[in-house]
Amino acid sequence: MKKSLFVLFIFFAVSITGFAQKYPFEEEVRKLSAKLDSVGWNSGGTVFTGSSTIRMWRSLSQISIGKDVINTGFGGSKATDLARYLYPLVLKFDPKRVFIYEGDNDLWADVPTNEILTSLKQIVIRIHLVNPEIEIVLIGAKPSPSRW
């Protein structure tokens, strides 16, 4: 009896600690946020955020010369992921405008369109609750030929 209780206890302890699920992108967002904190940022600039299309936009700094622009894109994200990390990726920077690209990973994961739109609407509402003057631009999802 003691042995079976011990085995049950070990199984329970391992299942709680060893298999504890983290949120997707948690570590990536934490590292990105820390990196951006170290760079310094003036409020009132522009934030580009969303999935890998934004993250891998290499010429973003070239087309925005002389403007405060920050790229907080994180690869593979869906709209619900951006909603989860809205503070460390957008709100804490107190931007004047935000460009958001989400949608193609959602579609690829068979997220219904109405759920994607609901998530995006919630993101916009949350941003405007913090500051109704922030200009928000939703970038339309594009086809991803690598997935065809």
pLDDT, tens only, 81-107: 999 999 999 999 999 999 999 998 999
What's the structural domain count of the chain? 1
Contact indicator for 95, 43 with CB cutoff of 8 Å: yes
| pLDDT-based confidence at residue 37 (cuts at 50, 70, 90) | confident
Residue 93 lies in a domain: yes
Contact indicator for 44, 68 with CB cutoff of 8 Å: yes
| Predicted model pTM | 0.79
Residue 20 lies in a domain: no
Residue 14 lies in a domain: no
Residue 77 has pLDDT above 90, yes or no: yes
Taking the alpha carbons at both ends of the chain, their separation in whole angstroms is 57
CA distances from 137 to 27, 42, 44, 102 (A): 27, 20, 15, 11
Residue 99 lies in a domain: yes
- pLDDT value for 9: 44
Average pLDDT, the chain: 83
CATH code: domain of residue 45: 3.40.50.1110
Residue 53 lies in a domain: yes
Could you report the per-residue pLDDT of 9-19, keeping only the tens digit for each? 444 444 444 44
Q: How many CB atoms lie within 10 A of CB 96?
A: 15
- pLDDT value for 40: 75
Residue 9 lies in a domain: no
74 or 23: whose pLDDT is higher?
A: 74
Residue 51 lies in a domain: yes
Residue 54 has pLDDT above 90, yes or no: no
- Domain span at residue 100? 25-147
Residue 7 lies in a domain: no
